[in-house]
């Protein structure tokens, strides 16, 4: 079973019976890095967001990369979001996907302050949410 990944459900869009969750939040990047997950077309993942102290919102999605917005989307059917009892909510530290160094202590939890590369190994910290192979040059 794959881990639940944190996401911001405020970014959900709906088009008829199809919904999309935009996967561009700090918590999503942090969770993906922590669990060594790199998004891929067609991958199925479960995302969650806090509803209140006792409940979480949770939805199973199929991933796709949206070329126009240059963002990953978790797609699901309208009505698929479910309320579940609150589970572990600790968001892991922001780890480099490559060298696994914790960069959380060096940088605050704000997108504008997160470097694009790991200060330890120099590789991109955005690896988990980078575009699919072959799309980077388009």
Own/partner contacts of 74-78, CB < 8 Å, gap of 24 or more, are 74/7, 74/20, 74/21, 74/23, 74/45, 74/47, 75/18, 75/19, 75/20, 75/21, 76/18, 76/19, 76/20, 76/21, 77/17, 77/18, 77/19, 78/14, 78/16, 78/17, 78/18, 78/19
What's the pLDDT score for residue 59?
Answer: 97
Q: Whole-prediction pTM value? A: 0.85
Task: Write down the residue that tokens 């009892």 correspond to.
Answer: 85
Which pLDDT value is given to residue 94?
84
Task: Give pLDDT, residue 138.
Answer: 36
Q: What is the pLDDT of residues 87-129, one digit of tens each?
A: 876 666 788 999 999 887 665 555 555 667 888 899 998 999 9
């Amino acid at each position: 079973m794959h881990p639940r990944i944190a996401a911001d459900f405020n970014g959900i869009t709906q088009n008829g019976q199809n919904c999309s969750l935009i996967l561009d939040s700090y918590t999503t990047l942090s969770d993906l890095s922590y669990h060594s997950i790199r998004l891929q077309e067609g991958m199925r993942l479960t995302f969650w967001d806090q509803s209140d102290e006792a409940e979480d919102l949770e939805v199973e999605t199929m991933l796709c990369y949206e070329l126009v917005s240059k963002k990953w989307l978790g797609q699901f059917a309208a009505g698929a979001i479910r309320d579940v009892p609150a589970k572990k909510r600790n968001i892991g530290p922001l780890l480099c996907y490559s060298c696994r160094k914790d960069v959380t202590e060096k940088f605050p939890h704000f997108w504008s302050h997160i470097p694009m590369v790991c200060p330890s190994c120099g590789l991109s910290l955005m690896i988990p949410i980078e575009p699919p192979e072959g799309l980077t040059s388009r």
